[in-house]
Amino acid sequence: MANPTLLILAGDGIGPEVMGQVVRIIDWFGDKRDLAFDVDHDLVGGAAYDKHGTPLHDDTMAKALAADAVLLGAVGGPKYDALDFSVKPERGLLRLRKEMDLFSNLRPAQCFDALADFSSLKKDLVAGLDIMIVRELTSGVYFGEPRGIFEEGNERVGINTQRYTESEIDRVARSAFELARRRGNKVCSMEKANVMESGILWREVVQKVHDEDYPDVELSHMYADNGAMQLVRAPKQFDVIVTDNLFGDILSDCAAMLTGSLGMLPSASLGAPNADGRPKALYEPVHGSAPDIAGQGKANPIACILSFAMALRYSFDQGDEAARLEKAVEQVLADGARTADLMGPEGGSPISTSEMGDAILAALDASL
């Protein structure tokens, strides 16, 4: 049987640095676990703009649609800040999400024991934390029309539109309930139904999906501002959080700090299953291109590596191999391997991006 295909879009800033470590790990699985992938590389974001004048070439889009899974590093950076909005690096990523119809973005926030002291919260609040934020990714204010900057009288007005259809809410709610059944069986849905009609509809549809098809899952609703507060007050009260595109963006960065560093948080963006049962999928770290540390070998590759673990689990039905990789990460952290973002209050001497890759590969070898 042909090998499954992976399209790697390393992108900008620290994207290629962290993805370099993932490529080593992909090779390891091919060599040592007989789990070979056909890997293709292409450009996205500023790197694609520099070559093609667009942050995502049509050919790359076509390759992404054809691949069994896409792995993405990060896009963006100050070099591109002044570009016209339509060709900004971030538009490349948004196009991928939209055209692949990746409506369910899984952002797990797990606190590894070895890092419980590194969170900005007290250790007992985060030790053992394991929550999953399900962010709607293809609609809402990111894509709603009308949008733009328009003349209005003698001044300009900037417009974005929060828009959700019932079916868009329905499908992401279902993905959250399905996940909850395989975890702690609890979903908390977050919106602002107190001030937004789209929030009222969100709440109604999530409740309906629950009552009709998932009555066994415990469901609660929370206003998203309270949700942000609760995430830092008592994060372990949550299991699965389902929320819209913009709230999910913000709440997941917030959740990242519960785990010790934004450099730790992976994500899976999933669409509807294809004929072979495999969902359209893109895997990427939650963090961005980190221009402040790019090119210095300082970036933590773990978020990107754990994103590949999610690919093994969600695209390739290799849950055991995903767990092997996650355990290897846990092991190196327990052994004290720390990139600069994981220095914590006591300080210490950080290792580089590639040294973290070395340590994880050694732990993988030791797992055999």
239 binds Mn ion (CB under 5 A): no
Nearest-approach distance from CB 346 to ligand IPM, in angstroms: 30
Query: Which one from 12, 49, 142, 239 is the annotated catalytic residue?
Result: 142
Closer residue to ligand IPM (CB): 44 or 286: 286
Name the DSSP class of 13. T
Instruction: Compute the distance between CA of residue 138 and CA of residue 147 in angstroms, rounded to an integer.
Output: 15
Structural tokens at position 360: 């994880």
Distances (CA, A) of 55 to 65, 295, 334: 16, 21, 39
Instruction: Compute the distance between CA of residue 311 and CA of residue 315 in angstroms, rounded to an integer.
Output: 5
Window contacting ligand NAD (CB under 6 A); options: 20-28, 138-146, 231-239, 286-294 = 286-294
Q: Which of 30, 184, 291, 350 binds ligand NAD (CB under 6 A)?
A: 291
75 binds ligand NAD (CB under 6 A): yes
The answer to whether the CB of 171 falls within 8 A of the CB of 104 is yes
Range 214-253, binding ligand IPM (CB under 6 A): 249
Contacts 24+ apart (CB under 8 A), 158-167: 162/196, 162/198, 162/244, 162/246, 163/139, 163/198, 164/136, 164/139, 164/140, 164/198, 164/201, 164/202, 164/244, 165/139, 166/201, 166/205
For residue 341, say whether it is annotated as part of any ligand binding site.
no
Can you name the residues that pair with 6 across neighbouring β-strands? 39, 69
94 binds ligand IPM (CB under 6 A): yes
For residue 33, say whether it is annotated as part of any ligand binding site.
no
287 binds ligand NAD (CB under 6 A): yes
Interior angle at CA 236, CA 208 and CA 229, nearest 5? 80
Binding mask 239-278 for ligand NAD (x = CB under 6 A): -----------------------xx---------------
For residue 295, say whether it is annotated as part of any ligand binding site.
yes
Window contacting ligand NAD (CB under 6 A); options: 21-29, 113-121, 192-200, 283-291 = 283-291
Among the listed residues 304, 274, 268, the one whose alpha carbon sits nearest the alpha carbon of residue 179: 268
The answer to whether the CB of 189 falls within 8 A of the CB of 172 is no
Which does residue 102 touch among Mn ion, ligand NAD, ligand IPM, none (CB within 5 to 8 A, set by kind)? Answer: none
Binding residues for substrate: 97, 107, 135, 225
By the criterion CB under 6 A, which residues form the site for ligand IPM?
A: 76, 90, 93-94, 249, 286, 288
- Active site residues per annotation: 142, 192, 225, 249, 253
